Structure 1
Amino acid sequence: MFDQRGENIATQEFYDEYWEAAIHELGIILIRDGSKIYFHQLEAALVELKRLSEWAKEHLNGSELEYMTGRIENLLDILPSASISESTILYIF
């Protein structure tokens, strides 16, 4: 049995406008709306988040940059602790 947890990426409007652009441009696989992150995917998910952060710093400014990098930092903090065992699944929405 899996311990299931969820974490919101962003508002739907912000996700559609900015996250989708970054995900498409960078070829992101794990960090996207509706994803399940398993313990064995943790390292790859953290790498994707760091790539998304760099994209945001290059393409956004002001409140958009602050919001996206804040959400990424939140996920960087949450993922390691949420994925402490092989029986944990983190849902991204």
Structure 2
Amino acid sequence: SIDDKVQLKSAAAGGTEFYRFHTGSLNPVTITGQGKEWTATWDHATMSFFSDIPILVEQMPWRDEVLDSKMHQVLTIRVLDESVGLRLQSTLNVP
């Protein structure tokens, strides 16, 4: 688990991306949750997110520099409302 806190000098607009996690997965990620609690599952991995404010977890394709320009899925973490920061606990479980 990783506990992280971001504190900004001035507020960021709602929809601002605070974190990006590269899954390395060529397959789509299954994302469930809402508000402050989310789970993302891909291949044989599960990543859970707990935040102190409402967030939005989404995925997008990303060009992979290591795998000779193949695309992999990236998870983005955005704040829903204007915010001067957030605290995020992320836990990655790979059996």
Instruction: Settle same-fold status: TM greater than 0.5.
Output: no
Would you tell me which structure has more helix in proportion to its own residues? Answer: 1
Structure number with bigger Rg? 2
State TM-score, norm by structure 1.
0.29
State TM-score, norm by structure 2.
0.28
Would you tell me which structure has more strand in proportion to its own residues? Answer: 2
